[in-house]
Amino acid sequence: MNSANNAAVVVGVDGSESALRAVRLAATEAARRHRPLRVVHGFIWPLLHVPLSPAPGAPPGGGLRHRAEELVEAAVREAEATAPGLSVSGEIIDGEAAAVLVGESPTAALIVLGDRGLGGFAALVVGSVAVQVAAYADCPVLVARGAQRPDEPVLVAVDGSDASRQATEFAAETAVSLNVPLVAVHAYRHPGSSAPGDMQPLVYDEAKLHAEQERMLAGWLTGLTESHRGLRLTCRAVHGRPGTVLAEASGSAQLAVVGGRGRGEVTGLLLGSVSQSMLHHAQCPVVVVRGPH
């Protein structure tokens, strides 16, 4: 989380039901973090040179700019109703939605957005704006998707990478704040089974391999309970494809936290395969941690 005292939680809205779910989640997060909430709408029409005022003879209050003002005002009211007493502001910013939200990220504590916006293709599990913002933002990005399970633990994906360590710190802080357990999951495969089809080696000692992976996981998390007082930590090493293992585990979590790019990812990728998979398949809200928190 951005350490600046005035760093706000920022939520992107577009008038969709997905965005309203994100507003409610963002308001809850902002109240929990004692941060103000900024409701932001990326207003793309000026870039396309589309007339913004009502057409001649149209009723007063028409036009694209007025419609944008209405949807921001509705989102602000939704946030205030969700978290009474929360400081909430709204702003319309000219620009494409993903670019506007990424532009907010250097000074934000957290960016929140829905998994699908207006005009999203029915076949897409997660919208392009969510993927772009998660890939480029300079702060953690929370995508509102799946079911709300307020009594369930926080889930974090662990693989020993720098991104994983950032994600683990974020997840531990969140779990302590929510007073719920943290479940740290490390998904592994058999040596030599990373190719498509997961060809299995002819000889391996499953028990030995599992014990080694458990030791690695424990080593990666050394000192976490000491540095986060009150943290209740459960560690699980699970054989399987990381995306599949984590998506299944998210079915009994209230929040899943992943690093932006994991161990062994191709250099230059802005968003790793596991984080992309979770954005598409997680059964609960997902935080992608790439930047400061």
Question: What residue ranges define each of the domains in the chain, with the CATH number in brackets?
Answer: 9-144 (3.40.50.620), 154-192+203-289 (3.40.50.12370)
pTM of the model: 0.86
> Within 10 Å of residue 167's Cβ, how many Cβ atoms?
29
Take residue 293 and report the two structure tokens written for it: 């928190």
Distance CA 154, CA 220 (A): 18
- Give residue 276's region: left, alpha or beta (phi > 0; psi -120 to 50): alpha
* Whether the predicted pLDDT of 278 surpasses 60: yes
Predicted local confidence at residue 84, as pLDDT = 98
| Residue 62, φ and ψ in degrees, nearest 5 | -90, -170
- Tens of pLDDT along 127-176? 688 888 999 999 999 999 998 899 999 999 999 988 899 999 999 999 99
Beta strands in the chain (DSSP E): 8-12, 37-43, 88-94, 108-114, 141-144, 154-157, 182-188, 233-239, 255-259, 286-289
Please give the DSSP secondary-structure letter assigned to residue 46: G
- Tens of pLDDT along 208-265? 989 999 999 999 999 999 999 999 999 999 999 999 999 999 999 999 999 986 554 4
Type of residue found at 131: V
- Tens of pLDDT along 19-65? 999 999 999 999 999 999 999 999 875 554 555 555 555 555 556 78
Q: Is residue 13 within 8 Å of residue 22, measured between CB atoms?
A: yes
Instruction: Please classify residue 99 by burial: count the beta carbons closer than 10 Å to its beta carbon, then call 0-12 exposed, 13-18 middle and 19+ buried.
Output: middle
* Whether the predicted pLDDT of 179 surpasses 90: yes
pLDDT tier for residue 91 given thresholds of 50, 70 and 90: very high
pLDDT tier for residue 125 given thresholds of 50, 70 and 90: very low
Instruction: Encode burial over 40-68: b for 16+ CB neighbours within 10 A, e otherwise.
Output: bbbbbeeeeeeeeeeeeeeeeeebbbeeb
